[in-house]
């Protein structure tokens, strides 16, 4: 989804749907650029990320930054692309979308050594917004499939 905006989405005024669409676009584009600072600008200081690839929710920008570094160390060529959405909640500031992640595991993933294998999975993300930023991120992916593709699963 292309957009003509640069800078903070709060410049878009009161069009909540356009703002959320812009955030979703910027969210994936920032990951593709591996621009951690830009992604941090999109989330609140107390943001909670409930990600199926981590054993517990990630709370706050510092914890999120550490989690992002783990992911980008393992998958430095990580690429995301839209599959479906974003769909906007009709009554509250939230958006859900589906995307595809493609990457090669050339670095360690926590304590798991690099496998050199490629992964191609689909994920779902629900972003909830407060004061023009994401304050809750609910992410789900088929981690068992990902581990099988990487040669780390049974």
Confidence of residue 12 (pLDDT cuts 50, 70, 90): very low
Average pLDDT over residues 45-62: 91
pLDDT tens by residue, 74-102: 999 999 988 887 888 888 888 888 899 99
Q: Which residue has the higher pLDDT, 6 or 116?
A: 116
Q: How is residue 93 written in tokens?
A: 């500031």
> What is the C-alpha separation between 24 and 62, in angstroms, rounded?
21
Residue extents of the structural domains in the chain = 15-149
pLDDT at 46 over 80: yes
pLDDT tens by residue, 17-27: 555 666 677 87
Domain 15-149, CATH class in plain words: alpha beta
């Amino acid at each position: 989804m292309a957009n003509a905006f640069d800078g903070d989405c709060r410049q878009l005024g009161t069009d909540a749907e356009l703002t959320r669409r812009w955030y979703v676009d910027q969210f994936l584009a920032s990951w593709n650029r591996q621009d951690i600072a830009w992604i941090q600008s999109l989330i609140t200081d107390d943001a909670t990320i409930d990600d199926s690839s981590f054993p517990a929710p990630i709370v706050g920008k510092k914890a999120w930054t550490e989690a992002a570094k783990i992911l980008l160390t393992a998958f430095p060529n990580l690429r995301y692309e839209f599959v479906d959405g974003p769909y906007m909640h009709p009554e509250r500031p939230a958006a859900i979308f589906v995307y595809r992640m493609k990457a090669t595991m050339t670095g360690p993933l926590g304590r798991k050594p690099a496998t050199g294998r490629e992964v191609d999975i689909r994920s779902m993300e629900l972003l909830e917004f407060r004061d023009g930023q994401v304050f809750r991120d609910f992410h789900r992916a088929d981690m068992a499939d990902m581990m099988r593709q990487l040669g780390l699963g049974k």
